[in-house]
Amino acid sequence: MVGIATALAKRQALRVELGLKDSVYVQFGRFIGKAAQFDFGVSYQHKKPVTDRGYRGQADRVADPDRVAVR
């Protein structure tokens, strides 16, 4: 990603690369199409596909119901 001090040309190039120059309808259609195929893109932090089994994202932080103590 880019910071606030990044040159305008680089920010515009990133907008084009991410498809943010397209209309909201086109962006939403692209999202729904990819979500239907379980394609959620690449993690910016880990640089791996989000659905990759080796990815340790938010889903790994959710409590495992079999390991939660009942009071």
Q: For position 3, what pLDDT does the model report?
A: 80
Q: Are 12 and 2 in contact (CB under 8 A)?
A: no
User: Which tens digit of pLDDT belongs to each residue from 20-64?
Assistant: 999 999 999 999 999 999 888 888 788 888 887 665 555 555 556
User: Which tens digit of pLDDT belongs to each residue from 9-18?
Assistant: 999 998 998 8
Residue spans of the domains in the chain: they are: 8-61
Global pTM value: 0.58
Q: For position 57, what pLDDT does the model report?
A: 53
More confident residue, 55 or 68: 68
CA distances from 65 to 48, 57, 69 (A): 27, 18, 9
